């Protein structure tokens, strides 16, 4: 028999593994664009979805093209009262030295850009 504490940990791990928020996150891959001044949470547009979730491929495409158009994401309150990550606006990210692309994970529900 498992100890109550261990059972609670296993239940928590199971819930996290099958959480709708985490499943929704897989539908829209989010990234952070990090510059010397700020960080912006973004997702690729439909035209660039083929780049996948590989940050190296995204960085290479940005360097080769000089710029990428992406969806900027922000946290908002949904109609059901829960917080969610949602597309705010399309923005252009210009290639520059010191810019990094990093994967971004959130426990919030992620709304796909249309």
Number of residues assigned to the chain: 114
The dihedral through the CA atoms of 108, 55, 26, 72 has a sign that is: positive
Token pair, residue 32, equals 């952070």
Q: Are strands 83-94 and 109-110 parallel, antiparallel or unpaired?
A: parallel
Question: Per residue in 31-73, pLDDT tens?
Answer: 999 999 999 999 999 999 999 889 999 999 999 999 999 999 9
The span from the CA of 94 to the CA of 96, in Å, is 6
Question: Per residue in 9-32, pLDDT tens?
Answer: 334 444 444 455 444 434 689 999
């Amino acid at each position: 028999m498992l100890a109550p504490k261990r059972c609670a940990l296993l239940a928590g791990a199971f819930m996290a593994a099958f959480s709708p928020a985490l499943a929704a996150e897989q539908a829209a891959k989010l990234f952070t664009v990090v510059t010397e001044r700020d960080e912006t949470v973004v997702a690729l547009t439909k035209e660039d979805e083929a780049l996948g979730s590989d940050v190296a491929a995204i960085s290479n495409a940005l360097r080769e093209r000089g710029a990428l158009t992406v969806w900027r994401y922000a946290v908002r309150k949904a109609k059901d009262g829960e917080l969610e990550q949602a597309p705010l606006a399309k923005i252009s990210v210009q290639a520059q030295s010191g810019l990094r692309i990093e994967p971004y994970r959130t426990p919030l529900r992620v709304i796909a850009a249309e």
